[in-house]
Structure 1
């Protein structure tokens, strides 16, 4: 067994090396394509991230940390039709108009997978730069809901395993009170009847919606929240149940088990086979501040959810995933704590440290798989300005922006993040109900009204550094 594993590893390594040499030999003569996956849980800012990234690559005046832009080697950038004919196009123009209009507003969030291709004409650098002309690099951006990625964990779990975990997590949440009552009243060994199954599935779906609104992150099955054309289908009509002993063949338990397996087979697996397995680089957006504002339970739930999500970048743990990846892996993964503009820049290092600590389990898994990883705090679209005011005889750092809804200007201090992330993560892991030594607030800012100079994209915080890490090497 050890010899077989060693031989397999050497073979895979040799294959990757051979492919790498082949890619290097072909590089001066063929266009390069980088497939960038963008995901994150609800309200993390995926749509805004993609829109601002594309706008700032088309007009690069605010991208000094993207080396190819700073060196003037990007000669041109333009949008092209997406290469996958079966995928909807990311509606960049509509989203940009929403963010930069005279009355700017947040665009509609991600509800399905979509794609956009941005092509860059780049002057080469290095020893061969004088021997070849500009090269074209295609950046294919794939936008998909993070809730779908949570479903990866279902591929490793039987219906009994998932039911046990889902019911355990829901047991401590007040949002699950209604569905707990419905599930307690159900008899898993009774004959399956469609009206009862539909009622239980709808109760579970209602719980997931309420938990999402309350800021929880572990929400499976992910397609229950975004069913699309599959709404009402048997594959989306099941719920977790307490496991009985020897349930009969036509029982409620057996039918839900069959539908759960159909969900994994017909919904989860095709997404990973057709889309996820082809991603080269990945950014995972995380609303750290929103979780901190909601309290210790939300922070711990986010930690567990992100560990589940990043399991997707370890295909070796699942034989089926290993088969579809066939030696491929995501090369770079960025964990980005979003909405950094809701904090004064003096607190940004603490936000980054908190994100790194919260994601440590997940990040270590990705590092083990060989991917290069980084964490940073960003704001894809800056909505605030900073100021300092005197309060009770001492200076207080504030951010000021336009409030969503009323449109009036307001200054805001969200509280001081601790220098040691453990001061938040330890009570979260310990099951604390509230923060004992801090009060953290949140404000919902609307996009600021912008006046952009020629050649400038929308204002941001560290979006250029994020781009440099994700695909700067390809330019």
Structure 2
């Protein structure tokens, strides 16, 4: 009987949140608060997306830049304001700095995210519900958004892997190019070391340094690989120089036992410590209680980098999405088992292709992430695929080629100061066969932000960001 009581007490203690958590859950159950997950790998555009989203909502009362966001278009918006964030120990998302960079002279893209940050918005609006109109005509929805380095997402799958399993996976990826060549120095170093010898800090440090250099090489635009673990090795944040990051996978793990004071045992301890104190903590504090999610994918970058980069990004995103909780929304779920009930897959840089290619871009992304689409649909989650641009930096143009008029885009490339008009190429609907990813077939150019005369008077130019807002938040108003 006592054991049953202990089990029940333990269960209820698990359901007993802090006062702040309880208040958040009540607000979310009453649709007064939404925690939005802006998910994406490195260089997918999370910081630019969040900056533009905040800017659009802050300027929602001005202009007609959000025609498909019904709450704004119907005139029910009463204003948006940046509020003090709920987690005082987390740095604030510096919207002011990001918008200054976008609107500077010359304009520049915001600096890449190097650590975690948070922002809270309060949106005041007129209720669309006939009953609520009489009880409380003006309501407020709080939106919490967290920004973080995309590299850190890649650590979430490690929670399900032992050190031996992880080492085996890394060894398998290094059997093919380009990882085979890029990992040569690190693999050569490990081959000269006996894993069963006593712990040596110099060896641990050198092995982790060579492995980290290998990951940085994989990350360069030339190769464009995404599945680089642990994520903190290439983006350490506040852990830079910490012994917690001084380990690496091992290629040939001895089949027989090894001493507790051996190199291999220490590698394993540091890996498990990294999972417990970095990955699990990060997941529970920031990734286990989202309501809505948008997954940003820079599909065009994989076209430029090649087939290996495409496969790597596809596998990385599918692995990461397995770490989130998906399911239908409901009062009990919102109070006790928070789950994501809406998921938007977004192909970024929609302004880098001609308008007639947007359906192709959406279809390609849908096919690319078909496994994740199927899994979340099975859980009853509403999904959509959309091509968008958080900040539009090109204009539609036309050119004549061999007597025929063709669609082009016009903008200022990142490596130039003069605008150019070009035909960026066609986006395939289906994934090309490996032999079809020939060098030079795809050459999608990156552009500088647009020069804006009155950015503080209206929202940033965008493509379909209003559709994204309507899908993610429209039902909350």
TM class by shorter chain equals 0.7 to 0.9
Residue 294 (structure 1) aligned with residue 305 (structure 2): yes
Indicate the residue corresponding to 1:461 in structure 2.
Answer: 463
| Contact 1:383 1:446 survives alignment (8 Å) | yes
The size of the alignment, in residue pairs, is: 438
Q: Deviations over 1:209-249 (max 9, x none)?
A: 11111211101111111212222323211111122212412
Which one of 392, 408, 414 corresponds to residue 418 of structure 2? 408
| Contact 2:103 2:455 survives alignment (8 Å) | no
CA shift for structure 1 position 454: 6.9
Q: Distance in 2 between matches of 1:437 and 1:112?
A: 35
| Contact 1:297 1:433 survives alignment (8 Å) | no
Residue 235 (structure 1) aligned with residue 259 (structure 2): no
Indicate the residue corresponding to 1:226 in structure 2.
Answer: 235
Indicate the residue corresponding to 2:382 in structure 1.
Answer: 372
CA shift for structure 1 position 118: 1.1
CA shift for structure 1 position 472: 1.3
Q: Distance in 1 between matches of 2:453 and 2:190?
A: 55
| CA-based RMSD | 2.5
Q: Deviations over 1:409-442 (max 9, x none)?
A: 1122222122x314x2xx2xxxx36615981102
The DSSP-based 3-state class of the residue aligned with 2:410 is: strand
Judged with a 3 Å threshold, the aligned counterparts in structure 2 of structure 1 residues 135 and 159 are, in CA distance, closer, same or farther, namely same
Which one of 160, 168, 173 corresponds to residue 164 of structure 1? 168
Q: Distance in 2 between matches of 1:28 and 1:385?
A: 40
| Contact 2:31 2:476 survives alignment (8 Å) | no
The within-5 A match list for 1:126-141 is 126-131=129-134, 132-141=136-145
Q: Distance in 1 between matches of 2:246 and 2:436?
A: 36
Which TM-score applies when normalising by structure 1?
0.87
| Contact 1:341 1:382 survives alignment (8 Å) | yes
Which one of 112, 115, 118 corresponds to residue 112 of structure 1? 115
Which consecutive segments of 4 or more residues in structure 1 shift more than 6 A? 26-31
Residue 146 (structure 1) aligned with residue 173 (structure 2): no
The DSSP-based 3-state class of the residue aligned with 1:417 is: coil
Q: Distance in 1 between matches of 2:318 and 2:121?
A: 31
The within-5 A match list for 1:35-74 is 35-60=35-60, 61=63, 62-74=65-77
Q: Which runs of 5+ in 1 are unaligned?
A: 1-14, 16-21, 317-324
| Contact 2:90 2:118 survives alignment (8 Å) | yes
CA shift for structure 1 position 147: 2.1
CA shift for structure 1 position 146: 2.5
Judged with a 3 Å threshold, the aligned counterparts in structure 2 of structure 1 residues 315 and 265 are, in CA distance, closer, same or farther, namely farther
Judged with a 3 Å threshold, the aligned counterparts in structure 2 of structure 1 residues 154 and 412 are, in CA distance, closer, same or farther, namely same
Q: Which runs of 5+ in 2 are unaligned?
A: 1-14, 16-21, 328-334
Q: Distance in 1 between matches of 2:269 and 2:240?
A: 18
CA shift for structure 1 position 176: 2.2
Q: Deviations over 1:385-412 (max 9, x none)?
A: 1112111233322111112243211122
Which one of 269, 272, 275 corresponds to residue 280 of structure 2? 269
Indicate the residue corresponding to 2:225 in structure 1.
Answer: 216
| Contact 2:113 2:149 survives alignment (8 Å) | yes
CA shift for structure 1 position 88: 0.6
The within-5 A match list for 1:283-362 is 283-314=294-325, 327-362=337-372
Indicate the residue corresponding to 2:5 in structure 1.
Answer: none
The DSSP-based 3-state class of the residue aligned with 2:155 is: helix
The within-5 A match list for 1:441-460 is 441-452=443-454, 455-460=457-462
Judged with a 3 Å threshold, the aligned counterparts in structure 2 of structure 1 residues 30 and 288 are, in CA distance, closer, same or farther, namely closer
Which TM-score applies when normalising by structure 2?
0.87
Indicate the residue corresponding to 1:18 in structure 2.
Answer: none
| Contact 2:344 2:385 survives alignment (8 Å) | yes
The DSSP-based 3-state class of the residue aligned with 2:390 is: coil
Q: Distance in 2 between matches of 1:32 and 1:252?
A: 52
The DSSP-based 3-state class of the residue aligned with 2:444 is: coil
Q: Distance in 2 between matches of 1:297 and 1:356?
A: 19
Indicate the residue corresponding to 2:209 in structure 1.
Answer: 202
| Contact 1:313 1:369 survives alignment (8 Å) | no
| Contact 2:326 2:340 survives alignment (8 Å) | no
Q: Distance in 2 between matches of 1:327 and 1:122?
A: 28
The DSSP-based 3-state class of the residue aligned with 1:272 is: helix
Which one of 103, 108, 111 corresponds to residue 106 of structure 2? 103
| Contact 2:325 2:340 survives alignment (8 Å) | no
Q: Distance in 1 between matches of 2:385 and 2:254?
A: 44
